[in-house]
Amino acid sequence: QSALTQPRSVSGSPGQSVTISCTGTSSDVGGYNSVSWYQQHPGKAPKLMIYDVTKRPSGVPDRFSGSKSGNTASLTISGLQDEDEADYYCCSYAGRYTYVFGTGTKVSVL
């Protein structure tokens, strides 16, 4: 049950693209197409941004996209906007009714 590894921080200027990686193992990220991503602004509850690796819930801007290769999932924010500045967490199903979250990434808009 080790946390998935994310970079501590990423940054970009408005309009640029940033990508957050989420590295796990074959027992979690690599073993299931069940990776989700959450955005969290300070003092707020997390918000679902991506589920099942690539799917976007209704209302989430299409500048947010997800992908996976092997044991690493990624969240890309294209056309970065000021309101995208927040913490982001990945999460993967890890089998037998268990889940594991990532260590979290702070996205800064320069």
Q: Rule CB under 8 A: which residues touch another protein? A: 1, 3, 32, 34, 36, 38, 45-48, 51-52, 57, 89, 91, 93, 96-104
| Pairwise CA distance, residues 44 & 94, whole Å | 26
Q: Alpha-carbon Rg of the chain, whole angstroms?
A: 13
CA 77 to chain centre: 10
| Pairwise CA distance, residues 57 & 47, whole Å | 10
Cβ 32 to another protein shortest distance, Å: 7
Q: What pairing do the DSSP bridges indicate for beta strands 9-12 and 105-109?
A: parallel
Nearer Cβ to another protein (14/41): 41
Nearer Cβ to another protein (57/61): 57
Cβ 64 to another protein shortest distance, Å: 14
3-state helix, strand, coil in the chain (%, to 5): 5, 50, 50
Nearer Cβ to another protein (64/89): 89
Cβ 13 to another protein shortest distance, Å: 26
Cβ 4 to another protein shortest distance, Å: 10
